[in-house]
Amino acid sequence: MFKKMITLSAFVALFAGASNAAVVFEDDFSSYGATTELNADSAFFGGNWAVSGGTVDYLVEGSDFGNLCVGGGSCIDLDGSTNDAGLFSSISFAAGSYVLDLSLFGSGRGSTESVTISLGNWSTTIGSIGSTDDASGSWAFSTDGGALTFQNAGGDNIGAILSDVTLSAVPLPAGLPLLATGLGLIGLIGRRRKATKA
Ligand SMILES: [Ca+2]
Ligand SMILES: [Ca+2]
Ligand SMILES: [Ca+2]
């Protein structure tokens, strides 16, 4: 009976920690205007994103190249229109544990692309994204902090298509001591009951 209670407590504590994951940054790219902006610069993204070392394109459904946005809406072509793919960088985030969710698709124009995603000292490269591939995913990681960045390899104006970026902070360091304390108290109660019997 007691063992079952401890197991249940552990699950409840872990579940509580997971559900506390708080969204710290979210962008579906719908708020930057109703028409496509080729070589959209840092000012265009209103401080949410910076573009350096080349360019990216902002595409909108119903506007130039907007058909490349998979599922409609707005999206980013990570290789702009200057034959020099830019580094696409978000605002900065603190050190910690995060879950990153995003939609990333092939160029839709016959090419194969490679994209490196990083946040501080965490980084992953998604290589060989075929033209019609869905390379969307979710990554859980710890980092020393910094901007979330995207770098498309190459520079032929045809890049992978990015949309729906969500970054959530996972409060694992705060949850673990709580779980340890809970288990410790249960253990203490158990020992006291035994001592009384003896
Ligand atoms: Ca382009
Ligand atoms: Ca570049
Ligand atoms: Ca390319």
Ligand 1 centre distance from Cα of residue 161 (Å)? 9
Query: What 8-state DSSP symbol labels residue 178?
Result: H
pLDDT digits (tens, 9 = 90+) for 49-70: 999 999 999 999 999 999 999 9
> Model's pTM, two decimal places?
0.80
Residue 104 sits at φ, ψ, to 5 deg, of -140, 125
Q: Which residue has the tokens 């058909």?
A: 67
Ligand 3 centre distance from Cα of residue 10 (Å)? 48
Ligand 1 centre distance from Cα of residue 48 (Å)? 20
Ligand 2 centre distance from Cα of residue 89 (Å)? 13
Architecture of domain 25-170: Sandwich (2.60)
- Indicate the domain borders of the chain: 1-20+172-198, 25-170
Percent of the chain clearing pLDDT 70 (strictly above): 77
Nearest to 95 by CA among 49, 27, 141: 141
* Mean pLDDT (whole number) for 10-28: 68
| Sequence-separated (6 or more) residues with CB below 8 Å from residue 84 | 53, 54, 55, 155
| Sequence-separated (6 or more) residues with CB below 8 Å from residue 186 | 2, 5, 6, 9
Amino acid (1-letter code) at residue 6: I
Output 97 or 198, whichever has higher pLDDT. Answer: 97
Ligand 1 centre distance from Cα of residue 139 (Å)? 26
pLDDT digits (tens, 9 = 90+) for 137-175: 999 999 999 999 999 999 999 999 999 999 999 986 555
